[in-house]
Amino acid sequence: MMLAMLGPVCSFGQASAKVPAAKVEVPFIISYWWGVPLAETTLERYKEIADCGFNVAFPACDIGWDEKIDGSPANDADNIKFLDLCQKVGIKGMIWAGMPFGDWSAPSPEETLKIQQSLDAKIAKFSSHPALSGYFVADEPGVDKFGRLAAINQYLLKKDPKHLPYINLLPNYAGHPDWKGPAYEQSVAKYIDEVKPALLSWDHYRQMFEGGDESFYWCNLEIMRKLTLKAKIPMIQIIVSLKHMGYRECSEADLRWQVYTSLAYGSRGIMYFTYWDVPGLAWADAPALMTMAGKKDVKWEYAKKINHRIANLGPTMMKLTSTGVYCTDPLPPGTIGLAASAPVKKAEGGAMVIGCFKSPKGSTCIIAVNRSFGGKITAKLTMDKIFVSTSELSQETGKFLAVVPLKANVLEVPLEAGEGRLFLLNGRAQ
C-alpha cells in the first residue's frame, strides 16, 4: 500500500485470454487497511469497526508487517483472538497468514512441496473459524513475483475454496516500468492469466492529490473493468482516507466521490487506506478514520454514513454486470461520453459519471454519480424511449422504492457532491 507516486497514464491494449472463474464466492466487501494495533485489539474496538459499517476487518497493523512473528505461536494466537472478536461483533476477518514467499521467483518442485505444506498448516489452523474471510497473500507485488503468487493462490483456492486469497496490485501511476503506460494493462492481464485471482484488487489515491489530479484515475478503472469482465471475476478499489505523501485531507464529499465512482465502474465494495493512524506516514499528524489518540475522527462518521448506505446496495450490485460507463462533459482523461447503445440518451445538469448494468434476468440498472467535489446538482437524464418508469434502490433499506413514471422520458435526480444513486429502468409491459 506504500506505493510509488510517479509514472504515466493509460493504455487500452490487447487483453489476456479468458481465465476460468475461481470457485470462491467473494462477498460485497467493505473494509480498510491498517487495523487497530495489538494493544488495542479489544471487543470495544471491534464493535466500533462493525458500527462504522465494515463487514470485513483487517487485523492489527503490528501483526502484518513484522516478518519475525509471522507464523509463530504468538502470531497464531493473535490471529485467533482477532477472528474471535470479529465473530462476536458479526463481521468477517482477513488474516495475515505468513505466506512462504521465499525469494519470490517461480518455485522449484521441492519449494512447491514446502509451500503446500506451509499452506496446509495455515488452512488447518484457521479455515474452520466461522469468522474467516480469507488470507492476505501480498501487497503491490512486482511482475517477477507472479510465479510464486500463482503457486500460493491456486493452491489455496484448491484446498480451501470457501476463503479468499487476497492480493492487492499497484495503480497505473506507480514508478516501476512494469506498471507504466501500455505496460500497465499488459502487467494486469499477465497477473490475471498466471495467478488466476478470485478478486482483482488495486489501490489508487492520486485523485485526492492536493489541487486534484484525475489524469490516472479513470483510466485505471477502465482497464480493471475491461479485464475483470473478460475474466469474469469481481474487482475492488482501495481509496485514500489519510492525508499523506501529497494526498489531501478528505472531506465527506471526497470520500463519497471515491466510493460511488468506484461502484459506477462495477467495484464490488470499497476499501479505505487507512482505518488506524500510521506512525510516520501521515502528514502533520493527520488522522486516519481514527486519530493518533485512538479517537473517532470526523472521517469515521463520514465513512459510517457511506458504508451503511452502500451496504444496502451490495446485494443488488453483486448480481449486476457492467455494460458501460459514460461521463458527461468535460470528459476526464480516459473516459468516453454517452454511446448510442447506452440506456441514457442525454445527461444534463452537471458533471456526472453514469454506470450501466444488466441483471441476470436482463433488466437494466444505472448508477448516476455527481462528479463534483463541492456542489449539489440535479441530474436530468433522458432515457431511451423503451423505458417508461424507474424504481430507485433505497440506500436506507436495500429495497426498491415505488415505481415512478418518467415524464417525457426524463429522470431528475438530485445528487450531493460525490453522491451516487442506483435506479432500475422499467420498460413497457409486454
pLDDT attached to residue 16: 41
Q: Which residue has the higher pLDDT, 250 or 76?
A: 250
- Residues 89 and 44: their CA atoms lie apart, in Å, by 9
User: How much is the pLDDT for 60?
Assistant: 81
What's the confidence (pLDDT) of residue 45?
97
CA distances, 150 to each of 143, 160, 194 (Å): 11, 15, 6
Within 13 Å of residue 84, how many CA atoms lie on the same side as its CB? 9
Give the Cα separation of 309 and 61 in Å (integer): 27
User: Among residues of the chain, what percentage have pLDDT more than 90?
Assistant: 76
> Which pLDDT tens digit goes with each residue over 275-320?
998 877 877 788 999 998 999 999 999 999 999 999 999 999 999 9
Q: What is the pLDDT of residue 277?
A: 87
What's the pLDDT tens digit per position in 46-62?
Answer: 999 999 999 999 888 77
Q: What is the pLDDT of residue 233?
A: 97
Distances in Å between the Cα of 11 and the Cα atoms of 56, 150, 220, 225, 337 are 32, 25, 9, 13, 18
Question: What domains can be seen in the chain, in order of their start residue?
Answer: 29-317 (3.20.20.80), 321-427 (2.60.40.1180)
Distance (Å, rounded) from C-alpha 224 to C-alpha 369? 19
CA distances in angstroms from 78 to 33, 42, 135, listed in the order given = 17, 11, 14
pLDDT at 164: 97
pLDDT score for 211 = 80
**Mean of the per-residue pLDDT values for the chain?**
90
In the predicted structure, residue 357 carries a pLDDT above the cut 60: yes
pLDDT tens per residue across span 131-158: 999 999 999 999 999 999 999 999 999 9
For the cut 80, the answer to whether the pLDDT of residue 392 exceeds it is yes
- Predicted local confidence at residue 97, as pLDDT: 61
pLDDT at 112: 87
pLDDT tens-place string over residues 70-109: 456 668 888 999 999 999 999 999 997 665 555 667 788 8
pLDDT at 10: 45
pLDDT band at 11 (very low <50, low <70, confident <90, very high): very low
CA distances to 93, 290, 309, 325 from 100, rounded to whole Å, are 21, 32, 39, 40
Please write the tens of the pLDDT for every residue from 210-234.
888 899 999 999 999 999 999 999 9
